[in-house]
């Protein structure tokens, strides 16, 4: 009987210690303020890159996840806030890359159209003509081999 009571107390103590350790571990998670700042910066970069026009789904997802991360921070759910902030940053980076790609493709199309039909048909820019040299004169020119003081080359 005494042994049963000790075993029961042992299990209860272990459960209390485990719960306390779990709570302590949650409390030790630092607030992800740096990650939230980096994510907010990534969303701003995506917006400046034209994500509203070229990658609206990714941009909207990034904004929503950043808002959810802010809410998680207000509720002191630091782990969830960090995860959502990281996801927001990835979505914003993707929106930026897609926007930059679309902008580059538009610029390349503009260059091709300015280069004329030859460039668009072959996929290459036309070559520039080789520079022409002045005609050779009667034996002496500024391009001749330098002579030694004795007059021989």
10-residue mean pLDDT series, the chain (153 residues): 54 59 63 96 97 97 98 96 98 97 95 76 56 55 54 55
Q: What pLDDT sits at residue 41?
A: 98
> Rounded to two decimals, what is the model's pTM?
0.59
How many beta carbons lie within 10 A of that of residue 48, not counting itself?
10
Residue 90 in tokens: 């990835």
Q: What pLDDT sits at residue 105?
A: 96
Residue 137 and residue 91 in contact, taking contact as beta carbons nearer than 8 Å: no
Q: What pLDDT sits at residue 28?
A: 75
DSSP, collapsed to helix, strand or coil, labels residue 14 as helix
58/90 Cα distance (integer angstroms): 9
Q: What pLDDT sits at residue 150?
A: 58
Q: What pLDDT sits at residue 119?
A: 53
Q: What pLDDT sits at residue 135?
A: 59
Instruction: Kindly provide the residue ranges of all beta strands, DSSP E only, lying in 51-148, ordered along the sequence.
Output: none
Q: What pLDDT sits at residue 115?
A: 84
């Amino acid at each position: 009987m005494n042994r049963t009571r000790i075993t029961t107390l042992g299990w209860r103590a272990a459960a209390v210690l485990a719960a306390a350790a779990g709570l302590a571990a949650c409390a030790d998670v630092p607030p992800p303020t740096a990650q939230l700042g980096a994510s907010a910066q990534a969303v701003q970069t995506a917006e400046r890159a034209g994500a509203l026009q070229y990658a609206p789904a990714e941009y909207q997802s990034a904004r929503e996840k950043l808002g959810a991360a802010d809410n998680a921070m207000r509720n002191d759910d630091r782990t969830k806030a960090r995860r959502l902030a990281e996801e927001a940053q990835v979505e914003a980076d993707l929106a930026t890359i897609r926007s930059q790609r679309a902008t580059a493709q538009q610029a390349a199309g503009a260059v091709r159209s300015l280069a004329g039909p030859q460039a668009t048909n072959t996929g290459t820019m036309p070559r520039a003509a080789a520079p022409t040299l002045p005609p050779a004169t009667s034996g002496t020119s500024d391009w001749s081999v330098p002579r030694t003081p004795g007059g021989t080359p």
